[in-house]
Amino acid sequence: MNLAELLVTSARRVPFSVALASGNQPIATFRTLADQVAGRAHTLTKQHGIGPGHRVAIYAENSPDYLEYLLAIWWTGATAIPMSAMLHPREVVALLLDSRSSLCLVSASKAHELASELVPCPVLECREVVVADHTDPPRVMESFDPAWIFYTSGTTGTPKGAVLSHGNLMAMTLAYLSDVEPLDERSGLLHLALMSHAGGLFSLPFIARGGRQVVPESCTADPAETWSLLADQSALSLFAPPVLLRRLVNAPEADPHAAEHMGTVLVGAAPVLVNDLVTGVEVFGPRIWNGYGQGETPCTITALDARSIGSAVASSDLDLLRSVGYPRIGTEVRVVDDDARTCPDGEPGEITVRGPTVMSGYWERPTATAEAVRDGWLHTGDIGVFNNGALTLLDRSKDLVITGGANVYPREVEDVLLSHDTVTDVAVIGIPDDEWGERVVAFIVPTTAGNISEAELDAYCISNIARYKRPKEYHQVSTLPRNGAGKVLKNELRATLKTPIKEQP
């Protein structure tokens, strides 16, 4: 089993179908793409000695070539380590050292950034990987062989590398085709989010079924360009973290008519607020799919499908819209207490997962692996609750705020604050408090420039949630720090609290 065989099979079945496009311009058929990937793999092997047992990093922005590099690494039998283009070069060096990478493939701009750092492995600009005349078939791999080391976002502590096998990612691919949407050679995936994360993983089911990969000409997630592409091309699906979904639906160019012939809007990577789902359905129609996953079990834990979300919006079923849906096909999900006993319906606990997409472990971290995977169950560190079979996320266990002995889940406070018309983005954290143990703090991004009335927000919270859950401090910021996956970096927010913040009485 080698994931590169997905490309080979499609190249045989639909050789002349478009496999890769830059905006509206086709640049490779499946036959052409397979030849190019095979050539790059041959060059990596013959000129750089890359093969099974090696790890090859990719540090590059989105581009039409990105998938070629990823598939070429798999073709050789090596393990890919895609790294966010948003990382600082020093962070990249740390990951290269941790993974003991043999080679780092970079874009021209990233090569320039790395030039001042002491990089522990050869750096090869992507344009230097020349396609060879002689090619070999993909290396035969076992399902348990590592394919992708997915470094966790590192919101707390040092990032850990989740080792995902060819079998893990094949199971993820089959789950997509089973319960997200049917695909064929008329389908396409528009790459707006980073291809080093879920955006790249979602490409696999499209490759498997002969669907095209479309990278915007700007290689960015520009809303105007996105809506233009949706108007020009049919059956395009896209992956959008919540912050990007919000930008798309609020863009002046947003056009429900352009969305009528598109595929699925895949939402995930961070909790999605009810208002975003409602607005998303208003603009895109019943095409919003909300999935819950982790790097340790990629894109595959639970999901609320597009039909369910559309029906829930139509019937104002807010409880279902607040959930992340039902376990994916082939995945077992339990909510457990501190003793690993299954919690009854309605009782919060830690979310645990078992199934073919769960990682084999963390790269060279046996202790962390043993803590995360116990008796075959991945302990996610997320707190959730089942109600009528649907899972609702409450928060990360590490983000739970305990104030005066009472539990406060930041997300429920964030939901309330974001429903206020002066707030466009928000993050809630807990900080130490001598009297209460912890106190709740909110970081607010206003809808318009100028100061938000903190007294008004405080009164709004009191009228919507228990008094003890309301923030004791408010901090207005222009933007929230996020990682490449779109998750808020709450540690960075905590670090800003060295400066006193106005406290509410």
Q: In the beta sheet, which residues pair with residue 390?
A: 387
Q: Is residue 213 part of a domain?
A: no
Convert the pLDDT of each residue in 182-202 to its tens digit. Answer: 999 999 999 999 999 899 999
Q: Is the pLDDT of residue 437 over 90?
A: no
> CA-CA distance, 469 to 504, in Å (whole number)?
13
Q: Is residue 357 part of a domain?
A: no
Q: Is residue 468 part of a domain?
A: yes
Q: Tokens 């000409």 — which residue?
A: 217
Nearest to 34 by CA among 55, 8, 52, 14: 8
> CA-CA distance, 163 to 231, in Å (whole number)?
39
Q: What does 340-352 look like in DSSP terms, one character per residue?
A: SPBPPTT--EEEE
Q: What is the predicted pLDDT for the residue at 42? A: 93
Q: Are 45 and 76 contacting, i.e. CB atoms less than 8 angstroms apart?
A: yes
**What's the chain's average pLDDT?**
91
Q: Is residue 466 part of a domain?
A: yes
Q: What is the predicted pLDDT for the residue at 504? A: 40
Q: What is the predicted pLDDT for the residue at 326? A: 97
Convert the pLDDT of each residue in 79-119 to its tens digit. Answer: 999 998 888 888 899 899 999 999 999 999 999 989 888 99
Q: Is residue 254 part of a domain?
A: no
Q: What is the predicted pLDDT for the residue at 86? A: 81
Q: Look at the pTM and tell me if it is higher than 0.85.
A: no
What the block records as the tokens of 306 is 């597009």
Q: Is residue 298 part of a domain?
A: no
Q: Is residue 429 part of a domain?
A: yes
Q: Is the pLDDT of residue 355 over 60?
A: yes
Element (H, E) at 382: strand 377-387
Domain count, the chain: 1
Q: What is the predicted pLDDT for the residue at 130? A: 66
Nearest to 49 by CA among 41, 57, 38: 41
CATH number at residue 446: 3.30.300.30
Give the number of other CB atoms < 10 A from CB of residue 464: 16
57 vs 116 pLDDT, higher one: 57
Among 9-23, 228-242, 310-324, 402-416, the minimum mean pLDDT is found in 402-416
403-425 burial, b if ≥16 CB within 10 A, otherwise e?
Answer: beeeebbbbbbbbbbbebebbbb
Average pLDDT over residues 133-140: 85
Q: What is the predicted pLDDT for the residue at 450? A: 65
Q: Is the pLDDT of residue 473 over 60?
A: yes
Q: In the beta sheet, which residues pair with residue 291?
A: 303
The parent domain of residue 491 ranges over: 408-498
Q: Is residue 448 part of a domain?
A: yes
25-29: long-range contacts at Cβ-Cβ below 8 A with a sequence spacing of 24 or more?
25/217, 26/212, 27/64, 28/64
Q: Are 191 and 212 contacting, i.e. CB atoms less than 8 angstroms apart?
A: no
Q: What is the predicted pLDDT for the residue at 119? A: 94
